Amino acid sequence: MALIVQKYGGTSVANVECIKNVAQRVKQTWDMGTKVIVVVSARSGVTNELIGRAKELNPRPDSREMDLLMSVGEQETIALLSMALHALGVPATSRTGAQAGILTDDTHMRARIHSISGGDIVDQLDEGKVVIVAGFQGVSINGQVTTFGRGGSDLTAIALAGALKADSCQILTDVDGVYTADPRIVSDAKKIEEINYEEMLELASSGFKVMQSRAVEFAQKYSIPFEVRSSFNQKPGTIVKEETPMLEGIMVTGVALDRNQTRLTVTELPDKPGTAAEIFNILAENDIIVDMIVQNIGRGGVANISFTVSRDDADRAELGIRKHFSDRTGDDFVSQTEIAKLSVVGVGMRSQPGAAAKMFDSLAQANVNILMISTSEIKISAAIEPGQADDAVRALHDEFNLNQ
Amino acid sequence: MALIVQKYGGTSVANVECIKNVAQRVKQTWDMGTKVIVVVSARSGVTNELIGRAKELNPRPDSREMDLLMSVGEQETIALLSMALHALGVPATSRTGAQAGILTDDTHMRARIHSISGGDIVDQLDEGKVVIVAGFQGVSINGQVTTFGRGGSDLTAIALAGALKADSCQILTDVDGVYTADPRIVSDAKKIEEINYEEMLELASSGFKVMQSRAVEFAQKYSIPFEVRSSFNQKPGTIVKEETPMLEGIMVTGVALDRNQTRLTVTELPDKPGTAAEIFNILAENDIIVDMIVQNIGRGGVANISFTVSRDDADRAELGIRKHFSDRTGDDFVSQTEIAKLSVVGVGMRSQPGAAAKMFDSLAQANVNILMISTSEIKISAAIEPGQADDAVRALHDEFNLNQ
């Protein structure tokens, strides 16, 4: 009998009605004679409510206590979903992360999975029960509740699918799958049937919101295939796996756009070794991830550094830098510019040169000004002005024949 | 160093402000150089919210899933209280029932405690930390979350105090202690300094709302003394323990009133063996607790039975009986009357006769009509009309000289 792992996110279980819908959908799968493990997140909003209460009591709450606090969100949904399945006549039983034997290290709030025993899940499945597992959480070797950070429920689903050798792992979400570009921008964007881990990772870090990199990395490391599909319809989604057919001439798989980026520019820094390191140390200390970086030498032996960060981190980054260089008080010493990051991703770039040339030609023809560039082996990203982003996406989608 | 267990109920941790107050209060105790274990309930309202959601999904939710669901309430408050203590500079760490090693049987929603290992609580206390334990919950031998039912957090506090040989166990609540009568009715009611378990139990079953019988029974069984006191002031409360000084001539310790009672009368039942048993079986099947019972033979070999139940159970009791005797459809076959139950309690009754005579004399002089009577070794209860209840309490309080 086939074993399937299904993961439903917070918006899919937001309230009693949503939970009933998920129960119906799980029942459909179970009715087909499949063994089913369901991984669920907290009801959307609950985690933020809990964090809000915690911050009112303590602006810097202890991470161990935060984990204990946040894990209640998923514990609530697993029990409720189990009851909803019972009401439909489906035998079901719920398991917390600890009960599912999801053992982690003790890095609270971003714990790493050590091993998954599964607890009694296999027995419960053999008895014909649907097993519902709390996403996002585990237990450390010394018995403490741990959580995995953002995207943690995807990680739970993928890791469980790997540990229990599931035949399929479905990440059910509010989109039909992974598209060649955002269908809201590009009307003839196509759903990608299969994509490999590397491309999925590059898309995840390029503004593709459906999954966090972490879960994809885990899937890649242990070669666990999964499928991103809609929780609202029964259409096949996008399979993410190790090897996908290499089609001759396909250089680019998708175009991604991240509108939530800010470029910071720090001007007139002394052009001496270590200046860049100082700045990026400040950012690292503040847990701020930097994406594109450009350094250039200005007049008179001074340097300018520009880099992009997530817009949510921009003010914190600026503040940290101003504090560090407290003798520099000029307004224009640090400046922010909102940008959009445009990326083309494709493993085909490895074997076929010319993707960058094609991309920049296409953007030039569309009169799109490129502010910064960064590349990886299978990705080229360009920072552009936000107002030109939609046109740029459409131009690249056409240029690389992604509608075919 | 002395060890103290403090228990705070749901209204004491209802919101962020309340939790801050509890943290301040715990800090005061900790500042005195005492080891402190704090047991907390869920924020008031949370448990009912969770139950509400469960019932929307399933009118008869599975008790195992209910336990997993309801235990999140306390898990939230322990984490929040811990953070609040950190904000005051007090080292604190929280433990779920399972982490505190509170092992139970697997009777979900009304589990019984098997043993308490305490987990690492003693080590944490030795390191100078305040340990916060989730009330109301434990873990069964096969790793399932269990809860104790109503009054469960008191039980956790008392059981922990017993297992860890605490020097003191304080049940902190919204009243100053146990009074000779409700001070809202009797202006010169006195706070009782010490009371023994038996009397406390009789008071708990006689309308005294502060504690459930179950926790008191546990304290009695294992001889664990505790104190009921206010969470709003520092006045000493009432100590509940095994032996209290027997004062010559003190027959009655307190007068209790329960306004939440209904008398059901079932008329013209066949006067044959087993009729009463039938009725009380129906009630038992519906989990309805019966208090006072009177049976009498009517004319023509038929019997009438009257009994009292909690008002919340009255309609369910009537329905059950009407269903069972479905051939009896007359309106007056079963009738309900709201009553108040008045009780005098005192271990002194054992050695001194005449308490009943005194009580009934006093009520007769006050023109209070007695509808039903029941007695135990140390308690006399009378069902009376609710409108006469306050006068009756005052009359008995005077009669037994409880203001002295």
pLDDT at B326: 80
CB contact under 8 A, A16 and B78: no
- Name the minimum distance, in Å, from the CA of A310 to any CA of chain B: 29
What's the whole-number mean pLDDT along residues A117-138? 97
pLDDT higher than threshold 80 for residue A270: no
Q: Counting beta carbons within 10 angstroms of the beta carbon of residue B336, is it exposed (0 to 12), middle (13 to 18) or buried (19 or more)?
A: middle
Q: Summarize the confidence of residues B25-49 as an average pLDDT.
A: 96
| Rounded CA separation B106/B138 (Å) | 10
Provide the token pair at B56: 């929307």
Rounded CA gap, A217 and A200, in Å? 9
Per-residue model confidence as pLDDT tens digits over A300-340: 777 888 999 999 899 999 999 998 888 776 767 899 999 99
Nearest-Cα distance to chain A for B95, in Å, is: 9
DSSP A2-67: -EEEEEE-GGGGSSHHHHHHHHHHHHHHHHTT-EEEEEE-PPTTHHHHHHHHHHHH-SS--HHHHH
Q: CA B172, B176, B177 angle in degrees (round to 5)?
A: 85
Residues from B contacting A (CB-CB < 8 Å) are 16, 19-20, 23, 50, 53-54, 56-59, 61-62, 64-66, 68-69, 71-72, 75-76, 78-80, 82-84, 86-87, 93-94, 96, 99, 119, 143, 145
pLDDT at residue A272, as a whole number: 75
Cβ contact, residue pair B82, A65, below 8 Å: yes
Using an 8 Å CB-CB cutoff, list chain B residues near A16: 53, 56-57
Start-to-end Cα distance in chain A:
38
How confident is the model at residue A213, as a pLDDT?
A: 87
Q: What percent of chain A has pLDDT over 70?
A: 98
A53 contacts in chain B (CB < 8 Å): 16, 80
* B14: closest chain A residue by CA: A53
Distance (Å, whole) CA B81 – CA A62: 11
Q: Is the pLDDT of residue A376 over 70?
A: yes
Categorize the per-residue pLDDT at B22 as very low, low, confident or very high, splitting at 50, 70 and 90: very high
What is the torsion angle, in degrees rounded to the nearest 10, for the CA atoms of residue A287, residue A291, residue A296 and residue A298?
-60
pLDDT interval class at B166 (50, 70, 90):
very high
**Confidence band, pLDDT 50/70/90 cuts, at residue B137:** very high
pLDDT (0 to 100) of residue A225: 96
The pLDDT assigned to B363 comes to 94
Task: Identify which of A32, A34, A13, A224 has the alpha carbon closest to the alpha carbon of residue A130.
Answer: A34
Q: What pLDDT does A329 receive? A: 67
Q: How far is A191 from chain B (nearest CA, A)?
A: 35
Whether residue A247 has pLDDT greater than 70: no
Kindly state the average pLDDT of the residues A273-296. Answer: 85
pLDDT of B305 > 80? The answer is yes
Dihedral sign of CA atoms B177, B183, B187, B190 in order: negative
CB contact under 8 A, A66 and B76: no
Task: Report whether A363 contacts A370 (CB < 8 A).
Answer: yes
- Summarised one tens digit per residue, pLDDT across range B339-366 is 999 999 998 888 888 889 999 999 999 9
Nearest to A216 by CA among A192, A250, A239, A244: A239
Cα A152 → chain centroid: 9
Decide if A75 and B71 are in contact by the 8 Å CB cutoff.
yes
Q: Residue B265 corresponds to which tokens in the numbers above?
A: 């009368």
- When mean pLDDT is compared across A122-131, B116-125, B311-320, the lowest value belongs to B311-320
List chain A residues with CB under 8 Å of B64.
Answer: 93
> Do A80 and B71 make contact, defined as CB atoms within 8 angstroms?
no
What pLDDT band is residue A248 in, cutting at 50, 70 and 90? low
Please answer whether residues B339 and B383 qualify as being in contact, where contact means their C-beta atoms are separated by less than 8 angstroms: yes
- Which pLDDT score is estimated for B257? 95
Q: What is the pLDDT of residues A37-50, one digit of tens each?
A: 999 999 999 999 99
Q: To probe the interface with A, which of B13, B18, B40, B69 has the most A CB atoms within 10 Å?
A: B69
Six-digit token pair at A12?
């899919």
Chain B positions in Cβ-Cβ contact with residue A64 (cut-off 8 Å) = 93
CA-based nearest residue in chain B for residue A65: B79
Residues of B in Cβ contact (< 8 Å) with A20: 57
Contact yes or no for A367/A292 (Cβ under 8 A): no
* Among candidate residues A259, A312, A323, A266, the one with its CA nearest the CA of residue A289: A312
How confident is the model over A369-390, as a mean pLDDT?
Answer: 92
| pLDDT tier at A178, thresholds 50, 70, 90 | very high
Distance of CA B209 to the CA centre of its chain: 6
- What pLDDT, on the 0 to 100 scale, is given for residue B131? 98
Q: Measured in Å, how far apart are chain B's first and last C-alpha atoms?
A: 38
Binned at pLDDT 50, 70 and 90, residue B384 comes out as: very high
Domain ranges, ordered by start, for chain B: 3-173
What pLDDT is recorded for position A327?
A: 79
Give the closest-approach CA distance of A365 to chain B in angstroms: 57
The average pLDDT across A228-244 equals 91
Q: What is the side-by-side order of every strand in the sheet holding A145-147?
A: A113-116, A102-104, A137-140, A145-147
The C-alpha of A199 sits at a distance from chain B's nearest C-alpha, in angstroms, of 39
From edge to edge, which strands make up the β-sheet containing B290-297?
B290-297, B302-310, B254-270, B334-345, B379-384, B370-376
pLDDT digits (tens, 9 = 90+) for B321-342: 998 888 776 777 899 999 999 9
Q: Give the mean pLDDT of B38-63.
A: 95
**Higher per-residue pLDDT: A223 or A328:** A223
Express each pLDDT in A68-77 by its tens digit.
Answer: 999 999 999 9
Instruction: State the alpha helices, DSSP H only, in A62-196.
Output: 63-87, 121-126, 152-163
Q: Which residues of B touch A68 (CB under 8 A)?
A: 75, 78-79, 94, 96
Topology of the domain covering B3-173: Carbamate kinase (3.40.1160)
How far off is chain B from A72, nearest CA to CA, in Å?
A: 5
Which of B21, B47, B58, B74 should be substituted to probe chain A, the one whose Cβ sees the most A Cβ atoms within 10 Å? B58
Phi/psi for A260 (5° steps) reads: -100, 45
Per-residue confidence (pLDDT) for residue B139, from 0 to 100: 97
Task: Enumerate the residues of chain A whose CB falls inside 8 A of the CB of residue B82.
Answer: 62, 65
Burial letters A323-348, b for 16+ CB under 10 A, else e: eebeeeeeeebbeebebbbbbbbbbb
Question: How close A244 comes to chain B (CA, Å)?
Answer: 42
| Closest C-alpha to A148, from A241, A59, A218 | A218
pLDDT band at B152 (very low <50, low <70, confident <90, very high): very high
| Residue B254 to chain A, least CA–CA distance (Å) | 42
Mutation target vs B (from A21, A76, A106, A146; most B CBs, 10 A cutoff): A76
Neighbouring-strand partners of residue B130: B92
Average pLDDT of chain A is 92
3-state helix, strand, coil in chain B (%, to 5): 40, 30, 35
- Rounded average pLDDT over A92-97: 98
Instruction: Check CB contact under 8 Å for A75 and B76.
Output: no
**Alpha-carbon torsion (B39, B45, B49, B51), positive or negative:** positive
Give the pLDDT confidence of A352-362 residue by residue, as tens digits.
888 899 999 99
Chain A CB contacts of B69 below 8 Å: 75-76, 79-80, 83
| A348 pLDDT above the threshold of 90 | no
CB within 8 Å: B72 and A76: yes
**H or E stretch covering B133:** strand B130-134
Q: Which of B175-184, B187-196, B248-257 has the lowest mean pLDDT?
A: B248-257
